[in-house]
Structures are given as structure tokens and as C-alpha cells.
Amino acid sequence: MAAHQIVFRIGWIFKTESVIIPAFLDWLTGPGGGMLRGMLPVINRSGQSLPPVFLADWLRARPLKKRSLAVFTAGMGLAFLPVAAACLLLDARRFAWMPWLFLILYGAFFVCNGMYHLSFGTVQGKLIRPWRRGRLLLVSTFYGSFPAMLVAWWLLPGWLDQPERGFGFIFLSAAVCFLGSSLLALAIFEPADAAASFPLGRWRGSVADLARTLRADANLRRTTVVAMLFAGGLIVLPHYQALALQQLRVPMGMLMVFAVTQNAAVGIFSLFIGPMADRWGNRLTLGVLIFGSTLPPLLAVSMAVLGGSWAAKTFWLVYIPLGVTPLVLRILINYTLEICQPAEHPRYLSTVSLCLAMPFVASPLVGGLVDLLGFTPIFLSTAALMFVGGLLTFSLDEPRHRVSAEERPPVIDGEA
């Protein structure tokens, strides 16, 4: 599982949500594309969140979840191949329909990505003990971040200096890594579950099942509120690079530094976050990370207000605390796995994923407000939302209290 995620992470750096993807869309459309850029998060979260709601029971019925994991990882790679071909074989900027084709493929990518997260979370919940999941996070994230950083440092500068073909090579590299990661997923040792049927039309009751799940579990309802407040802060993720390029006049080549910085930060933070989650629990870790997530918008606003050449040269510092963001989502998944029985893992994960998506409905409006009002009021508002979400983590249950120390089997080094 760690090897699968290491290769997956190398591919992910070539499509970083806060750097590469919005920069490519801005390159296609030119200045003033705040509204279109604002569509990225809503497409992202809708694709990630809606399909799992309807397919959670389908996944639960599969005897081997790793096969679904492999298929959806491969789908993520295939979604980028047409974009790479358009950039390498055609002049992508000549076609007015190219941004819309990209957004459609971007949506297909995140449909697969949503099912990927549901599949991976279910496989993890099935195979890895709760107090060892932080170690999996540490190993896969740390050992994935630094190869990704080195590859990006080596390849991205030349590609970003010639974006006409460079973006094609970037997306082709992402596709190859995701396809390789899908093959590694098939090597995971997973005992088969008993086969179960999934009647045609069963998906129609999925929303009703979701509502019943929320009504029956008050702690899950509080968890979804925390998720939505945190997601409200993620809406500005594509706008960091726009602030740097448009307001501070940072050169395009600095995008590589931003991507590498964020990736390195994720790896370094995982050294502490994984063991912290295993030792003190995912609830406490989740709160700490959400509070840490308020720092990037505040730091970005400070640099934008003060301005000057020093702000342009040091804007990469914003991407250090941004390294916390993907870890919040991983810890949120791990916490969700702990608060329910294994049979309910797909339903609980899809419920939290859907609630994460709800704030992103406002993302195009936020993009338009960035063009109208500027970056500062929008970034400050999102920081406030995340701060409130951090406070609400103190109201969540601590599932580790349900398992006393003497009930746990002794952990052998290297044991899952």
C-alpha cells in the first residue's frame, strides 16, 4: 500500500491543485479568469464526493476492493492523456473550446479520484489497524514526497519555461505515474470478502441511506460540520498562484519552487503527524492541523498588503504551511474510519466526502469576488472559517477511549 501511494504521490506533484492546474487554466484563458478558475474547486469536490455516495454500497459488495482501487487509479491517468496530446501535438491555446475540454477531463479525473479515495480508505480500514494507520501515512507520504520533489526540481523548470509543450510533458508524466500506481495496487495482499449482490437500482436509495446515517450518529454530524468549515477554507486554493503571478509579478518559473516547497513540507510534516495520530489519536491531530491551515491565507494576505520585491521573492514561504492541507484530509479519513464499524466504512467515508464538497458550490462566486474585491477579504474570510472548524474538533468523540490499552494486542515492529 505504501509503494502504491509513493508512486501515486510522484504523479500528483505534476498536477498540484494549488499550483499546476490553475496555472495551466490561466495560461489557456489569460488574465481575468477568476470565475473560470473558481470552477476548479467545485468540479474537484463534486467529482470526489457525489459518485461515492451512490457507489458506496457497490464497493462494499465487491469481494476484492483492491481491484476497484487499481481501476480508478488507472482512470485518473487516462483522463490526462488527451490533455497531454493536445498540448504536444496541437497549439492548445488556439482553440476556444480547449478550457472547456480541460474542465470536462478534469471532472472525469476527480470522479475517478473520489472513488479512489473511497476504495483506498476501505482497503486501509480492512487491512490496517487504527493505531498503525499513522505509520502508513508517514511511510507513504514521507518517502513519496522527496522523490516527487527531486523529479519536479529536475523537470519542471524547463517545462514551465516553454509552457506550449511543457504542460504536455507535465500531464503525460502524471498519467504515467498514475498508471504505474494502479499496477502496484493489484499487488496488495487482500483476503477476499464474501461476495454480495448489488441490485440494479439500489443506488436510488443511497441518499436516503446517507440521511439515515446522519440522523443516527450525532458525532458523525459534528464531524461533517468540521469538514464543511475546513472545506470553506480550501476554496481559495487555486488563487494562491494567481495572487503571486498577477499581484506580486512572480515569474512563471517560480511555480516549480511553490510545488516543490509544498511537497517537501508535506513529507516533513508527515514525520510528526503520523506518529502523533497513532499515539494521541486522530481527533487531537485533526484539530492541530486545521488550526495550522489558517496560516497560509493569513501569510499570503500579509505579503500582498506589504508588497515589494521581497514579497515576490519570499512568497514560496506560503507553501510551507500549505503542506498541512493534504494531511488534514488524510487524518479526517482516518478519524472517520475509527468512528464506525468496518461494514459502514464506505457509507461513512462517502458521507464525509459529500459534506466536504458542499461549500465548493460557492467556488465560482468566490473566484468572481476575487476579481471584484481583491484577494485580501476573501483570504481572511476563509481563515476565519477554518479557525471555527478547529474549535469544533474539541466537540468530537475520541474513539480511542473505546479501546483500553490492555485490549490491544502487542505491536510487533513491521506488523500491520
Residues 308-355 pLDDT 10s:
778 888 899 999 999 898 899 889 988 998 888 888 888 888 888 888
Statement: 2-187+204-398 belongs to CATH 1.20.1250.20: yes
Q: Provide mean pLDDT across the span 195-207.
A: 59
| pLDDT digits 0-9 by tens, 349-392 | 888 888 888 888 887 788 788 878 888 899 999 999 999 999 99
pLDDT at residue 414, as a whole number = 43
Per-residue confidence (pLDDT) for residue 405, from 0 to 100:
43
Band (pLDDT 50/70/90 cuts) for residue 227 is very high
Percentage above 90 pLDDT, the chain: 30
List helix spans (H) across 128-205: 133-161, 163-185
Task: Supply the Cα-derived Rg of the chain in whole angstroms.
Answer: 21
pLDDT at position 375 is 86
Q: What is the pLDDT of residue 358?
A: 84
User: Residue 215 pLDDT more than 80?
Assistant: yes
* Residue 65, pLDDT above cutoff 80: yes
Q: CA–CA separation, 346 vs 227, rounded Å?
A: 17
Cell numbers representing residue 156 in the block = 519542471
Q: Please report which confidence band the pLDDT of residue 399 belongs to, taking 50, 70 and 90 as the band edges.
A: confident
Has residue 416 got a pLDDT over 50?
no
Residues in contact with 28: Cβ distance below 8 Å, sequence separation at least 6, in sequence order = 92, 93, 98, 99, 102
Looking at every residue in the chain, the average pLDDT score rounds to 84
Instruction: With H, G, I as helix, E, B as strand and everything else as coil, classify residue 238.
Output: coil
Looking at residues 113-122, what average pLDDT do you find? 89
Give CA–CA dist 117/73, Å, rounded.
10
Q: Which tops the pLDDT comparison, 7 or 399?
A: 7
